[in-house]
Amino acid sequence: MIMLPQVWDNLRANKLRSFLTMFGIIWGIVSIVILSALGEGFQRGNETVLRELGRNILIIRNGRTSMQAGGERAGRPVRLEFDDVLALKRDSKLLEDVSPELMKGSLRVKSAFNSASLQMSGVWPVYQKIRTIEVDRGRLLSEADNQDARRVVVIGYEAARQLFADRDPVRRAVSAEFHPLHHHRKGPKKGSGFELHRRR
């Protein structure tokens, strides 16, 4: 108990040094808390972005050879064909799901209310599972849509806003370069090759 009055006397005698010491301790604790919160927030944001990209996926795109092989020069273009998708689906034992993705950018899309230049992708319905795509209204593409070659489309949040403003876009028609499509669903706010889903 004798120490407490002595400590108090020392603190009062050296006010500036005591203040700076306490300020340093408080600043250190606050800095650690802030850095921990930033690290946790960054990790959660990263997980969200990766979840939107898809789980356990492999994407194969057209490209060029990086080395000379089999008498062919390096830098030779490699083009993927639809038969490659079918071969992967048929022969691969490590892939759970496979979907082609045929993309076309700057496609002129029109609704009864507006038009926009958008990117469009042609995919198989399983692509939605691979890329964890969800819709907030309507429904996703189905195997029946694919088998019957129905002209239906899932559009994203920004595209729906551009084409329909505040109107409900579900079951309204849009046309892409003179091909009428029936829009049956609206996707959430998300952003050419194969999409592959590896077995767990």
Say what the pLDDT of residue 193 is. 41
Q: How far apart are CA 79 and CA 137, in angstroms?
A: 37
Say what the pLDDT of residue 179 is. 52
Q: Tell me, what DSSP letter sits at residue 52? A: H
Q: What is the pLDDT of residues 120-156, one digit of tens each?
A: 888 999 998 888 888 888 888 999 988 898 888 888 8
Of 81, 105, 92, 90, nearest in space to 58 by CA: 92
Say what the pLDDT of residue 191 is. 38
Q: Could you say which residues of the chain have pLDDT below 70?
A: 1, 178-200
Say what the pLDDT of residue 181 is. 53
Q: How far apart are CA 120 and CA 108, in angstroms?
A: 10
Q: How far apart are CA 134 and CA 187, in angstroms?
A: 6
E strands present in 79-151: 95-110, 115-123, 137-138
Say what the pLDDT of residue 28 is. 93
The H or E element that residue 77 is part of is strand 77-78
Return the domain boundaries, the chain: 3-53, 57-198
The overall pTM is greater than 0.85: no
Torsion of CA 180, 156, 133, 42, to 10 degrees: 160
Strand partners for 81: none
